[in-house]
Amino acid sequence: MRWLKFTASGQTSWGIVEGDGVVGVEGDPFGEWRRTERSYPLDGVRIEVPLIPRTFYCVGLNYLTHLKEAANKRGEVPNIPDRPEIGYRAQNALIAHDEDVVIPADATEKIHYEGELVVVIGKKVKHLTEHDAMSCVFGYTIGNDVSERTWQKADRGLWRAKNADTFKPMGPWIETEADPDKMETIVRLNGRQTIRFRTGDMIFGIVPFIVELTKYFTLWPGDVIWMGTDGASPDLKAGDVVEIEITGIGTLRNRFVTENR
């Protein structure tokens, strides 16, 4: 099932994508809901951010190629994580499919994309085991962990580098039936493929992350875990359009523009 948060006829609600259309739903997928009589063509609605997570988790270095390239740029030996550790991103930065990423006026030209699988949590859980870890996963969506690499070197806690307004496109919808082991992540810049990798080739997969996280943290419905990216990005500039496709989920598309101040 494909859950879309959308606005049509001035009303924002959840809906279920079916073919080229969306059926409006009362309630929300994490609680009680029922289908309504409202239905719209998909290309006639405004797609919204699927949700604002209560806590916004994000995995830093979780693919080997990305890790090695980042280390090489710093002139260091790659330091492969020996345990799954989590970070955070800021909710203010979230935008929807087709909304513009606004490059801050004082950013450098080192603006990069990072195409990521996003795990959406569906239940309040703690202390999950390897056996039942996946029971809390509601579905999957796509994230673009936009990064300003010059700030990334200087910022404490990556505060601007990863979290400036609009730096976290997420969407277009949440797919509940997808299988991460079969997914491929494909990034296109202005229509041309720049990278393609097996989404499941993570250093630590979804299960070990959920097991380790829930030793210490309660996960809540609507929490998200961004699972990291592979490869590297060219420098992006105003006018560029980045599409991140994850097979079995869909495509997240955003244009980059410059802040007008």
Contact positions toward its own copies, by CB under 8 A? 52, 54-55, 57, 60, 81, 85-93, 104, 106, 126-127, 155-157, 159-160, 163-165, 215-220, 223, 261
Considering the complex, state which of residue 15 and residue 53 has its C-beta at the smaller distance from its own copies.
Answer: 53
- Cβ 219 vs Cβ 125: under 8 Å: yes
Task: Please state, in angstroms and rounded to a whole number, the distance separating the CA atoms of residues 165 and 48.
Answer: 16
What is the biggest distance separating any 2 CA atoms in the chain, rounded to whole angstroms? 59
Cα angle 12, 224, 52; round to 5 = 30
Considering the complex, state which of residue 46 and residue 127 has its C-beta at the smaller distance from its own copies.
Answer: 127
Task: Please state, in angstroms and rounded to a whole number, the distance separating the CA atoms of residues 160 and 163.
Answer: 5
Considering the complex, state which of residue 167 and residue 173 has its C-beta at the smaller distance from its own copies.
Answer: 167
Least Å distance, CB 220 to its own copies, is 7
Considering the complex, state which of residue 42 and residue 90 has its C-beta at the smaller distance from its own copies.
Answer: 90
Least Å distance, CB 246 to its own copies, is 25
Backbone angles phi, psi at 207, to 5 degrees: -60, -55
Considering the complex, state which of residue 2 and residue 256 has its C-beta at the smaller distance from its own copies.
Answer: 256
Least Å distance, CB 51 to its own copies, is 12
Considering the complex, state which of residue 180 and residue 222 has its C-beta at the smaller distance from its own copies.
Answer: 222
Least Å distance, CB 106 to its own copies, is 8
Task: Please state, in angstroms and rounded to a whole number, the distance separating the CA atoms of residues 15 and 129.
Answer: 32
Question: Strands (DSSP E) along 46-175, which ranges?
Answer: 46-47, 56-58, 87-88, 94-95, 101-103, 111-112, 115-121, 137-144, 147-148, 168-175
Least Å distance, CB 223 to its own copies, is 8
Least Å distance, CB 213 to its own copies, is 9
Three-class DSSP category at 7? strand
Considering the complex, state which of residue 132 and residue 184 has its C-beta at the smaller distance from its own copies.
Answer: 132
Least Å distance, CB 148 to its own copies, is 10
Q: Specify the residue for token string 């409006």.
A: 24
The number of beta carbons lying within 10 Å of the beta carbon of residue 202 is 20
Q: What secondary structure letter does DSSP report for 1? A: -
Least Å distance, CB 240 to its own copies, is 20
Q: Specify the residue for token string 């001035």.
A: 10
Considering the complex, state which of residue 88 and residue 177 has its C-beta at the smaller distance from its own copies.
Answer: 88
DSSP annotation string for 62-86? -SHHHHHHHHHHTT------SS---
